[in-house]
Structure 1
Amino acid sequence: MPPRTIKAAIQDALEDLPEKKLDKFRSALLDRREEPRVKMNSVEGKDYITIAQVLVSTFTEPRALRITLELLREIGCSEEAERLGELPHEPKRISVISISQSIFAHGPSAGASAGRYMSGDKHFVDKHRTALIQRVSTVPSLLDELLGRGVIKQEGYNTIMRTNQEKMKELYAGPLNACGPDEKDTFYHILNQLEPYLILELKSTK
């Protein structure tokens, strides 16, 4: 049996939502400030099939999947997001812990090709700083991984912040600013696990 398309998977995930949750999903989708934006008349009062079609036609399948996962988490449907994210279309995930241990234990040569994730003359996480601050949605998990791997220290980071963007700004302004290339490689690997579609999208930009 061939794997389902991303559109079919999104459609199935939205079909499982109660009507009130589907209304919240529509509202959250319309509230997005990033371009391209979805027009109200394209989803207002529409069923899950139409909404899935609009998502894919507006954003392309990979980005539509990432946005659907973000919005499901935003409206409190974490279980639905988890099920959608575990389907076969999800990019193969790698072990953050094993990669991080390899980098710290053996130095930059143990990471992928010299352990440097450069984009031009800048490290990937520096070049895409603004986008990552604005768009990373799994900040609590990201911080847990960074703390666990010793990339940042609890006393050097203020976790009492109101929004994900504020937390990411604090991370960049403080601990990450002092990190070397190896630690930034680890940061990149963690992001690639937690936000695979965002990283894929940023890698395709120039």
Structure 2
Amino acid sequence: MVSVLLLKYLEELGKKEMDKFKWFLAQGVDNYNKIPHGILEDAQSREALVSTLISKYEPDRAGRLTVLVFRKMDKNFPASQLESDLGKVSTTVLSSSKGVTFVDKYRVELIQRVRLVDPIADDLKPLIGDEKYANIRSSRTSQDKMRVLYSFLSGGATIKEKFYESLLKNELYLVKDLAGDSVPH
């Protein structure tokens, strides 16, 4: 997944390098709009920054932007490695839209019937960040938690696929009930 790759590469940056990375994002790079300083300041963790990039640009463009920023920072070797890794991942992410379709199609049913929201939120935490994770966990009922969780799924196909994978892990029988026999085991 693109988000996992971006996180892996960003974890290699020290504090000063992360500040420089964010500085380039705030300036705008090539045909990518700049990200306001306030949003970048809110994204204090690397996980939150990855979520910000993916929600603003979609996974493939967020990956390409990260490569461009690495090159501007003269980090050409990691940029080339990331570019290669993204090429391998993007084909599998793009060809795997079953989860996105399922998550969109069964929104109402999932909000009403998912009971194990906390483990699902745990799985999504690297993509959504600490603040959104806390918002989900602080909701009272599982339906309220699911509504909050769904409000964070606008980040594109990557987060919806991860949500679907978590549903398969934590709510397999519900997924089978909704989708029939076409669910992988």
TM-score (ref. length: structure 2): 0.46
When Rg is computed on C-alpha atoms for both structures, the one with the higher figure is: 1
TM-score (ref. length: structure 1): 0.42
RCO higher in 1 or 2 (8 Å CA, sep ≥ 6)? 2
